[in-house]
């Protein structure tokens, strides 16, 4: 039997068919540009994508044990509903119910950070571990919490929003309307702001020439210059480590997971990033003497993370 993993993004939907070991046999994409003019259209698009995928892969629907969907926004996975999605305005969309009209196999939906964390447990950097926390650093800060091998969601699936922990009381404004959220300091968007501010102060910094070469300031700018020993960039990275690390200290003290994984584009900085974070958290955490030292690693599933995470949701849900 096979499993379908579907990764719903703002501009396109990706789908892949995988076996139980996480081998992706075939994948395909449709561009949607988020054109959801009516409630049912997203379900309709997912349906058409499933048909296209199986057709291209030449696999009959009877060979599919389950479908998993990873989707940004607030997802009520128990009821199979998208509560709401801030990127593309939609509320209370009954995706699973709609898809049941067209397909017989069971369908499961969950938040994209949650399925990414599960995917790492089933196929990736946390294979075989039961208590795992994935933190994705990107436009925002997402978190996926795996407790005893299962996704932790909170009531109505509205939990696991560690990006909105407060790390600086009454600090920087956050997109959520609050102040001092972790996301306002530790997201890549925040890092870009921090990089730009340092570049203004230090026009001699290598960050400026790197940005000119790349045509933009992005999440890599400061890390690239820091690796080359640029002083101002090393300061930007050190402060960013402190921002990310402060939130991780809190999560370590609350959860004591077996491992933290760092996802998002910045995870490509690898151990240059995670070794520094590990040192910061080990130094700051509560009760250093009990158990193992803190473990922080880059997430392992890069390009196929969305599809494999959603496939893992399908696999674990029908186990």
Site residues for its own copies, 274-313, by CB under 8 A, read 284, 286-287, 289-292
Based on CB atoms, which residue is closest to its own copies, 2 or 243?
A: 243
Matching residue, tokens 């000119």: 212
181: which DSSP letter?
B
Q: Which residue is associated with the tokens 């067209």?
A: 102
**132/308 with CB nearer its own copies:** 132
Task: Between 272 and 286, name the residue whose CB sits nearer to its own copies.
Answer: 286
Between vectors from CA 18 to CA 15 and to CA 21, what angle results, nearest 5°?
145
Q: Which of 176, 192, 234, 300 binds its own copies (CB under 8 A)?
A: 176
Number of residues that bind its own copies (CB under 8 A): 49
**Among 14-22, 27-35, 151-159, 221-229, which window interacts with its own copies (CB under 8 A)?**
151-159
Which of 174, 207 has the CB closer to its own copies? 174
| Closer residue to its own copies in complex, CB, 153/224 | 153
Q: Is 239 in the site for its own copies (CB under 8 A)?
A: no
Rg (CA), the chain: 20
Q: Which of 246, 267, 274, 317 binds its own copies (CB under 8 A)?
A: 246
- When binding is defined by CB under 8 A, the residue of 254, 275, 302, 303 that contacts its own copies is 254
Return d(Cα 287, Cα 61) in angstroms, integer.
52
The rounded distance, in Å, linking the Cα atoms of 255 and 133 is: 9
Query: How is residue 303 written in tokens?
Result: 């390009």
Task: Assess 37 for contact with its own copies (CB under 8 A).
Answer: no
- From CA 118, how far away is CA 311, in angstroms rounded? 9
Q: Are 71 and 111 in contact (CB under 8 A)?
A: yes
Q: Does 40 engage in binding with its own copies (CB under 8 A)?
A: no
Residues between 186 and 225 that touch its own copies (CB under 8 A): none
Q: What is the Cα–Cα distance from 86 to 176, expressed in whole angstroms?
A: 10
Residue 3 and residue 60: Cα distance in Å, rounded?
12
Q: Which of 74, 111, 114, 222 forms a contact with its own copies (CB under 8 A)?
A: 74
Give dist(CA 225, CA 209) in Å, integer: 9
Q: Tell which one of 35, 87, 209, 253 touches its own copies (CB under 8 A).
A: 253
Angle among Cα 27, 5, 108 to the nearest 5 degrees reads 155
- Out of 59, 178, 189, 234, name the contact with its own copies by CB under 8 A: 178
Of 244, 280, 211, 232, which Cα lies nearest the Cα of 138?
Answer: 244
- Among residues 111, 114, 221, 250, which is the contact residue for its own copies, using CB under 8 A? 250
Binders of its own copies among residues 84 to 103 (CB under 8 A) are: 84
Nearest CB to its own copies, comparing residues 11 and 254: 254
Residue 315: Cβ within 10 Å count = 26
Interface residues with its own copies (CB under 8 A) are 74, 76, 83-84, 131, 143, 145, 147, 152-162, 164-169, 171, 176, 178, 180, 242-243, 246-247, 249-251, 253-258, 284, 286-287, 289-292
């Amino acid at each position: 039997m096979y499993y379908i993993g579907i990764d719903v993004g703002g501009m396109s939907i990706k789908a892949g068919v995988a076996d139980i070991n996480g081998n992706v046999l075939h994948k395909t994409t449709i561009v949607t540009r988020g054109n959801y003019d009516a409630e049912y259209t997203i379900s309709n698009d997912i349906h058409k994508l499933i048909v296209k995928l199986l057709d291209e892969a030449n696999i009959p629907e009877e060979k599919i044990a389950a479908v998993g969907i990873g989707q940004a926004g607030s997802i009520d996975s128990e009821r199979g509903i998208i509560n709401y999605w801030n990127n593309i305005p939609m509320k209370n969309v009954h995706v699973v119910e709609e898809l049941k009209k067209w397909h017989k196999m069971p369908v499961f939906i969950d938040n994209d950070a949650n399925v990414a964390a599960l995917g790492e447990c089933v196929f990736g950097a946390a294979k075989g571990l039961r208590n795992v926390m994935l933190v994705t650093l990107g436009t925002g800060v997402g978190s996926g919490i795996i407790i005893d091998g299962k996704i932790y969601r909170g009531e109505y699936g509205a939990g696991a929003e560690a990006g909105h922990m407060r790390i600086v009381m009454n600090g920087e404004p956050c997109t959520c309307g609050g102040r001092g959220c972790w996301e306002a300091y530790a997201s890549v968007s925040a890092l870009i702001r921090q990089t730009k501010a340092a570049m203004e102060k230090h026009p001699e910094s290598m960050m400026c020439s790197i940005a000119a070469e790349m045509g933009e300031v992005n999440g890599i700018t400061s890390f690239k210059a820091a690796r080359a020993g640029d002083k101002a960039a090393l300061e930007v990275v050190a402060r960013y480590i402190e921002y990310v690390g402060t939130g991780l200290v809190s999560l370590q003290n609350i959860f004591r997971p077996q491992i933290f994984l760092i996802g998002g584009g910045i995870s490509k900085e690898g151990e240059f990033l995670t070794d520094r974070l590990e040192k910061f958290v080990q130094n700051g955490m509560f009760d250093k003497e009990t158990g193992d030292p803190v473990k922080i690693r880059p997430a392992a599933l890069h390009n196929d993370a969305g599809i494999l995470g959603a496939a893992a949701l399908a696999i674990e849900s029908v186990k």
